């Protein structure tokens, strides 16, 4: 990105049960206001950029974020520098921060409720009020934001069809809050990822759903949203499956990755480069049964391959 990037803190105080970043970047460490201001001054002198982006997993959680912003505004008041906080939680963006400093153009606002039902919200421990989200969406549309993008995740432990319905309903309700403002629903893009159990998280032993079941749930959501202004897009279930196998792998995974690379796998995160069948061959040649790593609940008695890594 063509701008100054400054990490305001490392770690995240929240405890979403699926989130690996929230665990591996502990403890939460904040940079002081003084340090940040001096770094921004140096960056400005050395680069001449006219935008500074304050980054972290959740910048709004910095205990002195308001002071950082007002100090930056003071320091750069005659220089036309804009300040952006890309990782702000949507609620903070709408309720706590003056809109003009968070971004110059109010185009797309991002919300990450992850789930649609209160039951699932509690299961993943996501600290977000689904009711407040709708109010935020209303305020955002009223303040000139044109589009909202939503991030959801399916396949989480204990999810059932009512939770999928809740995802579709929440997205539709957010779309419909704009009716109160100008009589029309808003176009909403909703991206739906797949739960992949990750080491060191509270869900590290959970099973990932089989690929066919994930596809079935994706189809269900797509069909339920027909006729609305919500456009759902989905992560590739097969790519997520490979991610799960490698995430929970052990030393035998090395041979799989090496085999796959020898067979031409590169840049697999890009769908046009991803070849599921080659990965399956690579697992087979390494004598690895991928379901053993991805689709199986790991019992409490089982020693996990990553247990020797201290992250807590």
Binding site for ligand SF4 (CB under 6 A): 12, 14, 16, 19, 21-22, 57-58
Question: Hunting for tokens 């063509």 — which residue is that?
Answer: 2
Smallest gap from Cβ 6 to ligand SF4, in A, equals 18
Instruction: Give counts: helices (H), strands (E), the chain.
Output: 14, 9
* 35, 7 contact by CB (below 8 A): no
* Burial class (CB within 10 angstroms; exposed 0-12, middle 13-18, buried 19+) of 98: exposed
Smallest gap from Cβ 85 to ligand SF4, in A, equals 14
Smallest gap from Cβ 87 to ligand SF4, in A, equals 8
Nearer to ligand SF4, 178 or 198 (CB): 198
Strand locations in 40-107 (E): 51-55, 82-84
Of all residues in this chain, which one has the CB nearest to ligand SF4 in the complex?
Answer: 22
Task: Select from 302, 301, 263, 267 the least CA-distant residue to 282.
Answer: 263
Smallest gap from Cβ 289 to ligand SF4, in A, equals 31
Cα separation values, 122 from 65, 113, 125, Å? 28, 12, 5
Nearer to ligand SF4, 40 or 192 (CB): 192
Nearer to ligand SF4, 91 or 176 (CB): 91
Cα separation values, 149 from 25, 98, 107, 152, Å? 26, 20, 10, 10
Nearer to ligand SF4, 56 or 225 (CB): 56
Strand locations in the chain (E): 4-7, 9-10, 29-30, 51-55, 82-84, 108-114, 147-154, 188-194, 230-234
Smallest gap from Cβ 173 to ligand SF4, in A, equals 22
Nearer to ligand SF4, 21 or 311 (CB): 21
Nearer to ligand SF4, 82 or 110 (CB): 110
């Amino acid at each position: 990105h063509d701008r100054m990037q400054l990490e305001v803190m490392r770690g995240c105080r929240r405890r979403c049960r699926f989130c690996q970043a929230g665990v591996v970047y502990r403890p939460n460490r904040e940079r002081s206001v003084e340090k940040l201001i001096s770094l921004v001054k140096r960056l400005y002198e050395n680069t001449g950029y006219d935008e500074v982006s304050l980054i972290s997993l959740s910048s709004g959680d910095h205990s002195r974020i308001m002071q950082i912003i007002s100090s930056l505004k003071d320091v750069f008041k005659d220089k036309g520098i804009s300040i952006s906080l890309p990782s702000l939680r949507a609620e903070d963006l709408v309720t706590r921060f003056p809109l003009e400093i968070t971004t110059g153009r109010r185009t797309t606002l991002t919300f990450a409720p992850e789930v649609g039902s209160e039951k699932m919200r509690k299961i993943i421990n996501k600290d977000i009020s689904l009711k407040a989200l709708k109010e935020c969406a209303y305020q955002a549309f009223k303040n000139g934001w044109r589009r909202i993008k939503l991030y959801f995740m399916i396949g989480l432990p204990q999810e059932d069809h009512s939770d999928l319905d809740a995802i579709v309903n929440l997205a539709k309700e957010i779309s419909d809050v704009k009716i109160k403002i100008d009589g029309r629903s808003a176009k909403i893009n909703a991206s739906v990822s797949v739960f992949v159990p990750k080491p060191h998280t509270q869900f590290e032993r959970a099973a990932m759903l089989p690929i066919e079941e994930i596809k079935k749930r994706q189809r269900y959501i797509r069909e339920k949203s027909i006729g609305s202004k919500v456009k759902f897009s989905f992560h590739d279930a097969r790519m997520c499956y490979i991610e799960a196998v490698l995430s929970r792998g052990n030393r035998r995974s090395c041979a799989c990755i090496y085999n796959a690379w020898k067979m031409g796998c590169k840049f697999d995160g890009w769908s046009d480069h991803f070849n599921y069948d080659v990965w399956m061959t690579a697992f087979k040649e390494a004598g690895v049964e991928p379901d053993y790593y991805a689709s199986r609940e790991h019992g409490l008695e089982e020693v996990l391959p990553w247990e020797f890594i201290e992250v807590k």
